[in-house]
Each structure stands twice: as structure tokens, then as C-alpha cells.
Structure 1
Amino acid sequence: MKILLTTCSYQDTPGPHHALMESQGWDIVRERGPLPESRMLELAGEGFDAFLCGDDAITREVLEKCSPKLRVISKYGIGLDKIDLPATREMKIPVLFTPGVNHDTVAEHTMLLLLAITKNLYPSVSATKAGKWTRLTGYELLGKRIGLIGLGRIGQEVAKRAHAFGMQIHGFGNYWPEDLAAQFSITRHDSLDSLFAASQIISPHTKLTPESLHCVNSARLNLMPDNSWLINTGRGELISQPDVIAALDSGKLAGYATDVLDEEPPAADHPLLTHQKVIVTPHVGSRTYESVPRQAMKSLTNLINALRGEGECNCANGVI
């Protein structure tokens, strides 16, 4: 059995998944993802039975080149937008994923970014390390209006933490957890425009689809008050980058803190890396010593069960 393993978090972090994987007797080819389509196409002809992947470009062309040997794709994580799901259904290749294992960690990172951008943490630390005693003035979270796009597992955990800070929580999404919304006094909006107009802070926690692509754009940002903030631990493509930069430059946005970019890893001249009002972390929102082993074991046991044809495997594309 030949397996392509590409996720760096899985490979780099200690945990029981390493011994379990070695015990399978597989021929494991290790790469450092996320891999572009060009590299995936180079590897595709090597006769893999399965992928254990992160955010690699698994396009129709890659799948066709892997056919008919490729039997299973096990995604480390929950975002499936880099996989051509319609093609996997046509080819009857199950796509597995790992829901319910990283929501606490990502919610914590969301709050980290929110605190860092509103309290001027990065410039304060940088100035102090440079020998300067520059005392910048920040903002309280208490009473601020935060708008959550999506109230799935991660959005709910962010809501709990925002409530603990005394924030006013607003939400929009197809799924609405009535009990939690009542418990934490979440105001429901029937449109994104309404959510943006009511919020000083926007934080998207929705999957990337054709409908959600660039859902954060100039038309909606202009509905927010001046000196608002944007936090993103979802997908880089949820925002229109030129529109966000324009909002930062105009003062509509006081800051943008993100763990995700439209291009990962980014080019050295990526415009968000050098912007004075932007904080970027390298897609580590779910990368903790607690969360990684949970995700790794889930993705690995999904794969083992699917290859054996028995047990739970969390299939995302309906093939199993």
C-alpha cells in the first residue's frame, strides 16, 4: 500500500499517530505541503493508493492521472475547497475529513488575533525590542459589536469567548444554534449586509464556496463604521484582498489580523506582509500540541477504516 503524506503539522508534531502509521506497513512518501498542482501532477504517476493530505491542489487533472489506483483521500482538517469534489464523486473516490477536533484551538487563535490587533500588540513588542518605549493606546473588547459569519463549531466557540469578554455578538449563517444563541444573547441577521452594518468587528467562520468567495468586499466593508477591524482564521479567499487593503488605507478598517492568505506560503512581496495595519500568522490556528494529535489520529483512523472497509471514516463527499 503506497501512501502520499503531505501535511506538515501531522509530520512535525509528536503524538500517537506516528506509531500507528508505522505499524500499518505502508510505503509512505513524505512531502512538505501544501503542494501546488504542478507538484501533485509530478507525484501522481507514482501509483498511490491513498493521500493523507492538507491543503494540496487535488484537481481533476491530478485525480485523472492517479486513476484508477487511487482509492481514498483522507484530509487532515475540515476545509475541502482545494479538492475537486465533483470529480471525486464521479470517480467514486471517498474524501474523508476530520470535523470536531480543532474548533477550540481555532477559536483561541481568533481571540489571540483580535486582542493583538486591537491592543497594538505587535508594534508595541517590536518597538520595545528595538529599544524604544513607545506607549500606544489600544481599545477594549468590552461592549464591542462582533459579527460572526457562520455559527458552526468554530463560530460557536468564538461566540462563547467573545461573550466572556463582554462583547455584543451578532451572527449570520444557514445553521443557527437556537439554545446557544439564546444563552449568549446572539443577534441573528438575515443578510450579510445587515451583519456588516451592525458590527465593528467581522470574523468569518464559514467554508469557502462559490457563494462565500470574497464575501468580505468593499460594498460590505463600507457598511461598517470607520476604524473597524477584520479577523480571519477561515480562508484567505473569503476576503477580497484589494478591497481590504483599500479599506485599511482609507481608515474604514483600523486593522486586519489573519491566519490565512489567498496564497500559502505567500510570495515575499505579498502586499499584506508589509502593511502597517496587518498582522499575519502562518496558518497555525489549529496547530497546537493538543489539537494536532487529535486531527492526525482522526485523519489516520479514517484512512485505515476506509481501506479496510469497516468502521467510521467521516466521508465528506457521499461516496461511502
Structure 2
Amino acid sequence: MIRILLTTTSYQDTPGPHHDLLASSGAEVVYARGPLSEEDMLEYAGDYDAFLCGDDAISEAVIQKALPRLKIIAKYGIGVDKIDVDYATEKGIPVAFTPGVNHTTVAEHCFMLMLALSKKLIEHVEWTKQGLWKRETGNEIAGKTLGIIGLGRIGREMAIRANAFGMKVLAQDIYWPEVFAEEHHITRIENLDQLFSDSDFISLHTNLTPETQGLVNSASIQQMKNSAILINCGRGELVHVDDILTALRDNTLGGYGADVLDVEPASADHPLLSAPNCLITPHIGSRTHESVIRQATKATDNLLMLLRGESPHAQVNDCQPPVALI
């Protein structure tokens, strides 16, 4: 019997049609609570024909141990930086993913963080719970400048919402969407230093690559306004954590709102969790009922198509589907 390892918790925990769709494969599905470390994945590897995974560490070592049985990696989500795609490709394993399903909800999450930091929402809620009628003055986002790094689907949704809030929008992207940018009044900025210096809010929506790792560091923070608020719903490794901490403590960065960390899941002693003017959520930016159902259905469709020997809706690498397994 075909065996599938399913690790993504939002897929498992959210009711929806994806469960019946997966059951229709006739495969044995084994459930694990991810994201799984490399050590944990090595415990599972070797007994499965397919991984239906989230942000689990699927390294070269994991793939090596999973062979020769592993034929398919179906990613639930769009970020594949935790998967050794090059090695999977070398071994002829197709890696499917699910673009175009979570951009709306992630953009909403970014604006939630922006507004919460601007209005000091969490502090005011906690003070009120303590019986302290303490009030501090916040800031509007209307009339402010939002700098977007990466104008993919999520970055574009950010621009649409920024326009609705009456913000000025700057953006930087190698692949410039000329028509969209003109329609939504986005100013193209070629130099990141200028984007950092001119923005009141900066939101990161670029892929994690060796070139973008540590993109925001002490040097880039020095270019920013002391009041600037940085939003990161991309990848934790896009920022240099120690430099963010120093800037928050020295009041040379107005705030940091993130849905991602350099180590996930984070322990209670992660330094950003106790940093001033810092708001961290546990990688739930795409975790709404609507988005989970879209994402889970597409990931399952991709998996079933590959199991049938067909090309999936979206695939990261150039590998042929395996011989039909169902």
C-alpha cells in the first residue's frame, strides 16, 4: 500500500474537503505534528512514498534515507527553503508547491501587525486587563509611506491595502510589474538604502536565498528612520536577529512585527519575545479557515496528480512525475 507522511498541523486541524480528497487516494496516511526537525524527519524517512509537508527540514540526509521509496514531495505552502530542492532534483523527485492561495490572508496579517504596533494595541489591552486605565498616544498609518521589498502576490496585496489606507507606496523588485504598479500608484525604488530611508513602514516579501539572508542588519537599520516599523511575514532568516534586538533596545528602530523567526518553533527564552516594541506571532499568517482550505486542497490535488503520474498544478523543479502509483 502507498504510504504518505502528512506533517502540516493546520491541514490536520482544519475541517474541510481536503480530508476526503486525501482519503480518496486509498493510501495509508501517517500523521505527524510538524514542523519537524532534521532529526525527527530522519526517524520517519524510508517508509513513505510521498511527503505532504509544511516547513519540515527535508535535507539531503533526509532524502537519502527516504530513498529509494520516496517518489514525491508535495509542499503545503510556497516557501521551499527548508527542502533541499537541488538534491531532490538530482534524485528525480518532483517538488510541488501551492502558490496563489494565501496572499490575501498574509497581507491582512501584515496590516494587523502594523496597526497593532502603531496603536500600541497589545500594551493597552494588557494594561486594561490589569485595571490600569493607562493610555499612550499612537500613530496613524494614513499618509505614511510603506516600503515593500518583493512585489509578488503578497507584496501586491500589501500595495492594494496600503492604497485603501491612504498610504504612499514604494517598492523594490527585480521583476517589475509595470501595469500593476501604475494602476496602484507604486513608486519603483532601485536602491534598497533609499527604500529603507524613505519608508515609515517596511514589509519583507522576498524569497529566502543566500543573497537575501540577513537582508536587514545593522547597516540597513542605520538607513531607516528611528521611528520606522519593520514587518516580516516572509522568513525569519531575512533579518539579523541580534541587530534587530540592539536597534529595538537602543530605540533606533520603532518596532518589529513578525510572523516568522530564525528558529521555529521558538522556545520561551527566544530574545525577540521579550524585546521592547516587538510583536511576534507563531507563523499563523496564512492560517485562516479560508486560506487553509485553499492551500490544503491545492496541495492534495498536487499530490494526487503526481501519484497518478500526472504533472501537478505547480512544481518547483524540472522532474517528471513518477510512474503512476494509484
Shorter-normalised TM range: over 0.9
Q: Give the drift of 1:191.
A: 2.3
Mapped to 1, the partners of 2:124 and 2:258 lie a distance apart of: 18
Mapped to 2, the partners of 1:166 and 1:103 lie a distance apart of: 21
Q: Which amino acid aligns with 1:4?
A: L
Q: Give the drift of 1:315.
A: 1.1
- Please identify, of 310-319 and 161-170, the stretch whose mean Cα deviation from structure 2 is larger: 310-319
Mapped to 1, the partners of 2:306 and 2:21 lie a distance apart of: 15
- Please identify, of 187-196 and 135-144, the stretch whose mean Cα deviation from structure 2 is larger: 187-196
2:265 counterpart residue number = 265
Mapped to 2, the partners of 1:130 and 1:263 lie a distance apart of: 32
Q: Which amino acid aligns with 2:230?
A: L
For 1:218-257, what aligned pairs fall within 5 Å after superposition?
218-257=218-257
The question of whether the paired residues in 2 share the 8 Å contact of 1:144 and 1:168 is answered with yes
Q: Give the drift of 1:318.
A: 1.5
- Please identify, of 55-64 and 185-194, the stretch whose mean Cα deviation from structure 2 is larger: 185-194
2:70 counterpart residue number = 70
Q: Which amino acid aligns with 2:254?
A: A
Residue deviations 1:50-94, cap 9 Å, x none?
Answer: 000000000000000011110000000000000001101100100
Mapped to 2, the partners of 1:231 and 1:166 lie a distance apart of: 18
Q: Which amino acid aligns with 1:13?
A: T
Q: Which amino acid aligns with 1:29?
A: V
Q: Give the drift of 1:311.
A: 5.2
Mapped to 2, the partners of 1:76 and 1:39 lie a distance apart of: 18
Mapped to 2, the partners of 1:229 and 1:24 lie a distance apart of: 46
State the SS of the aligned residue for 2:223: coil
The question of whether the paired residues in 1 share the 8 Å contact of 2:249 and 2:276 is answered with no
2:323 counterpart residue number = none
- Tell me, yes or no, if structure 1 residue 165 matches structure 2 residue 165: yes
State the SS of the aligned residue for 2:244: helix
Q: Give the drift of 1:256.
A: 0.7
1:304 counterpart residue number = 304
For 1:39-50, what aligned pairs fall within 5 Å after superposition?
39-45=40-46, 47-50=47-50
Q: Which amino acid aligns with 2:15?
A: P
Mapped to 1, the partners of 2:312 and 2:54 lie a distance apart of: 20
The question of whether the paired residues in 2 share the 8 Å contact of 1:306 and 1:313 is answered with no
- Tell me, yes or no, if structure 1 residue 4 matches structure 2 residue 11: no
1:25 counterpart residue number = 26
Residue deviations 1:138-169, cap 9 Å, x none?
Answer: 00101111110100000000010011111111
**Aligned-residue RMSD, C-alpha:** 0.9
Residue deviations 1:175-229, cap 9 Å, x none?
Answer: 2111221122211111222211221211100111101101011101111111111
For 1:78-89, what aligned pairs fall within 5 Å after superposition?
78-89=78-89
1:36 counterpart residue number = 37
Residue deviations 1:248-303, cap 9 Å, x none?
Answer: 11211111111111111101210011112111111110000100000000000000
Residue deviations 1:102-140, cap 9 Å, x none?
Answer: 100101001111000111000000111111111111001
State the SS of the aligned residue for 1:122: helix
2:324 counterpart residue number = none
For 1:24-173, what aligned pairs fall within 5 Å after superposition?
24-45=25-46, 47-173=47-173
Mapped to 2, the partners of 1:141 and 1:268 lie a distance apart of: 31
Q: Which amino acid aligns with 1:28?
A: V
- Tell me, yes or no, if structure 1 residue 14 matches structure 2 residue 15: yes
Q: Normalized against structure 1, the TM-score is what?
A: 0.98
Q: Which amino acid aligns with 1:297?
A: T
Mapped to 2, the partners of 1:193 and 1:93 lie a distance apart of: 40
* Alignment gaps of 5+ in structure 1: none
What fraction of aligned residue pairs are identical, expressed as a percent? Answer: 55
Point out 4+ residue stretches in structure 1 off by more than 6 angstroms.
none
Q: Which amino acid aligns with 1:226?
A: N
Mapped to 2, the partners of 1:276 and 1:149 lie a distance apart of: 24
State the SS of the aligned residue for 1:100: coil
State the SS of the aligned residue for 2:261: coil
Q: Normalized against structure 2, the TM-score is what?
A: 0.96
The question of whether the paired residues in 2 share the 8 Å contact of 1:303 and 1:313 is answered with no
The question of whether the paired residues in 2 share the 8 Å contact of 1:119 and 1:138 is answered with yes
Mapped to 1, the partners of 2:305 and 2:50 lie a distance apart of: 12
Q: Which amino acid aligns with 2:14?
A: T
Q: Which amino acid aligns with 1:181?
A: A
Mapped to 2, the partners of 1:135 and 1:180 lie a distance apart of: 41
